[in-house]
Structure 1
Amino acid sequence: MSSRLRVVVATVAFGMGLDKADVRAVVHYHMPRSFESYVQEIGRAGRDGEPAQCHLFLDPEVMVLWTIETLLCYLELHPRRWLELLPHTYAVCTVSCAGGHAQLRAAARSCPPLAAALSLSPPPPSSSSIRFDLIALSDSLGWEAPLVRRALLGAGRDGVAVEFSEPAFRVRSYGDLSGAESDAACLFLLRRARRHRAAELRRLRRCLSAFQR
């Protein structure tokens, strides 16, 4: 509040109680959950009446992930309970060793998932890294993906780097759907998405009307 800091990185909770008149810029790392939230958060800038800047980094891939997650939640909350949405995970794991292939093999001796990955898709003897499908490996071991990820993280030590990429959704299905059930699920999603879109448009129109008064 004394203006000794030029930049503050914070969550939305910080902005809710901030009443500092000379904030010159607000930068969003991603899209807020609602238009009202966005308006409230950028309202922290320029409260002294002087020009201020607001920037939003919008990643189209994140928008797609949010949309998929919303549709999966609809299926989970349906009375038929078509699926159960499990905690997110990553689809790909890369293990790299500064000590080369020998260190990669040595790390596998104390990490069963890494040993299984090397057995299923052995890299060339000259390779110091391996990249594999984390979900497929979990299925082959009969382990839950979070347990496999935890075990692989445990292999990380001096010279061994474990990296995860490509965020993925995990769902539990209670059996294959018949053709009629698949059609019913798709129709349900279509109708629910249309209702949601109509509701959001009504909210935006109300906000616009309030600003134009």
Structure 2
Amino acid sequence: MSDVCHMHERAIPMQETVETLDITEESVETLLCYLDLHPQQWVEPLHPTLSVCKLQCYGGPQQLRTLTKLYGLYGGTGWSGVHVEFSDLSFYIHSYGNLTVDELFAVCALLHSRVMAQERTQLYQLKTCFTVLCIVTAVFIWMIWMTAEFRH
């Protein structure tokens, strides 16, 4: 890290991220884990969270001002006429906020190399399955042909 920076809490909306990147939620979680496992520990994945809070005060803005003066912003026990609704499931992480351009490039390079390695592994597995299926199919066809020849 270029300068000392304590980790910041961040919530990244799941649905929006999945749609924008056109990858699965599990793939995003895997990328976050890669960043966590790196010696620099660029991120610390936490449990998903609901990142949007909507307050509805039936008494309007004046009721909210009055309640916050009486109870403080976080001391909402006993509030009446207030509806609180949480939404937007999000990836919840701790991350550094002051990465240099070189460090950001290193993060991207790490993710790219990990994804490419995973793709190579999956391609190898797919080719191996294809080869095995070709061999099994060839043997099966040969056995059918030999059975047909034996009958004639």
Report TM bin, short chain.
0.5 to 0.7
Find out whether 1:195 has 2:131 as its counterpart.
Answer: no
- How far off is 1:87 after superposition? 2.5
Find out whether 1:72 has 2:27 as its counterpart.
Answer: no
AA of the residue aligned to 2:108: C
Q: Which has the higher contact order (CA 8 A, sep 6+)?
A: 2
**Pick aligned residue for 1:181 from 97, 103, 111:** 103
- Distance (Å, rounded) in 1 between the aligned partners of 2:73 and 2:88: 22
Do 1:107 and 1:155's aligned partners in 2 also have CA atoms closer than 8 Å? no
Partner secondary structure for residue 79 of structure 1: coil
Deviates most, 189-198 or 166-175:
166-175
Q: What does the per-residue CA deviation read over 1:23-81, in whole Å, with 9 as the maximum and x for residues that have no partner?
A: xxxxxxxxxxxxxxxxxxxxxxxxxxxxxxxxxxxxx6494443322211111101222
| Paired residues for 1:25-104 under 5 Å | 61=19, 63-97=23-57, 99-101=58-60, 104=63
- How far off is 1:165 after superposition? 1.8
AA of the residue aligned to 1:184: A
Percent identical across equivalent pairs?
34
More helix by share: 2
Q: In terms of Rg, which structure is larger?
A: 2
AA of the residue aligned to 2:73: P
TM-score normalised over the length of structure 2:
0.53
Unmatched runs of 5 consecutive residues or more in structure 2: 1-17, 137-152
Counterparts in 2 of 1:156 and 1:86: CA distance versus 1, 3 Å: farther
| Paired residues for 1:127-206 under 5 Å | 160-174=82-96, 176-204=98-126
Deviates most, 75-84 or 175-184:
175-184
Q: What does the per-residue CA deviation read over 1:140-185, in whole Å, with 9 as the maximum and x for residues that have no partner?
A: xxxxxxxxxxx77x6787x543222222223223562222222122
Find out whether 1:112 has 2:78 as its counterpart.
Answer: no
- How far off is 1:189 after superposition? 0.5
TM-score normalised over the length of structure 1:
0.40
- What is the aligned-residue RMSD (CA, Å)? 3.7
Instruction: Report the count of equivalent residues.
Output: 114
Partner secondary structure for residue 85 of structure 1: strand
- Distance (Å, rounded) in 1 between the aligned partners of 2:46 and 2:92: 5
**What is the aligned partner in structure 2 of residue 51 from structure 1?**
none
- Distance (Å, rounded) in 2 between the aligned partners of 1:187 and 1:203: 24
Unmatched runs of 5 consecutive residues or more in structure 1: 1-59, 114-150
**What is the aligned partner in structure 2 of residue 7 from structure 1?**
none
Partner secondary structure for residue 80 of structure 1: coil
